[in-house]
Amino acid sequence: MDGRLAAMLARHAGPGRIVWIGLRPERRAPMQAMEAAEIGPHGLLGDHARPGRRAVTLIQAEHLEAIRSLARAPEAGFADLRRNLAVAGLNLLALRGTDLRVGGAALRISGPCHPCSRMEEALGPGGHSALRGHGGVTAEVLAPGPLRLGDAVVPIEPDAPPAA
């Protein structure tokens, strides 16, 4: 990849911010909206999650309107989509393989978060298809730490010091 392309791929207009935090205390349990949470070594503390590359799920906040429109579910909210964090102002899909500072924690975007069959239950017929391409991303934990609504979400420069 030439230097100009690499520079463009690494450049973002500005930081994102956390606009929603959700925890699932157990499998199939309703999401609980939180103002703050703690990311532990294996995911959000208090969340029924998969450790490893899918420890934390993030969704692009700007995609909610598209999902509502495509699913014909105008009342759908982030809790219905069952992702842990909604992030506004930063293109998450452009960050695969990138390390991010999320509040006081550090995550690595590991891949897309494909919709599950539960989206048909949550959003109605067509809910699964509505989320295709809009389901967000999965991330692995690099460094635990606290996070709150409004916290910045920023790519970590390769030479930046690790999270404290």
Could you read off the pLDDT of 126-142 as tens digits, one per residue? 889 988 989 899 999 99
The percent helix, strand, coil of the chain (3-state, each to 5) is 20, 35, 45
Please give, one letter per residue, the 3-state secondary structure of 115-158: CCCHHHHHHCCCHHHHHCCCCCEEEEEEECEEEECCCEEEECCC
Sheet holding 145-148, edge to edge: 43-44, 36-40, 145-148
Residue 136 lies in a domain: yes
Which range has the worst mean pLDDT, 7-16, 67-76, 145-154? 7-16
What values do phi and psi take at 99, rounded to 5? -90, 135
Residue 42 lies in a domain: yes
Residue 162 lies in a domain: no
Question: Tell me: the pLDDT tens digits for 9-26?
Answer: 666 667 899 999 999 998
Residue 140 lies in a domain: yes
Residue 31 lies in a domain: yes
Whether the pLDDT of residue 6 is over 80: the answer is: no
Per DSSP, 31 falls in state P
Task: Give the domain CATH number at 147.
Answer: 2.40.33.20
Residue 146 pLDDT: 98
Residue 2 lies in a domain: no
User: How many structural domains comprise the chain?
Assistant: 1
Contact 141, 104 (CB under 8 A): no
Spatial separation of the C-alpha atoms in residues 80 and 75, rounded to whole Å? 10
Domain span at residue 70? 15-153
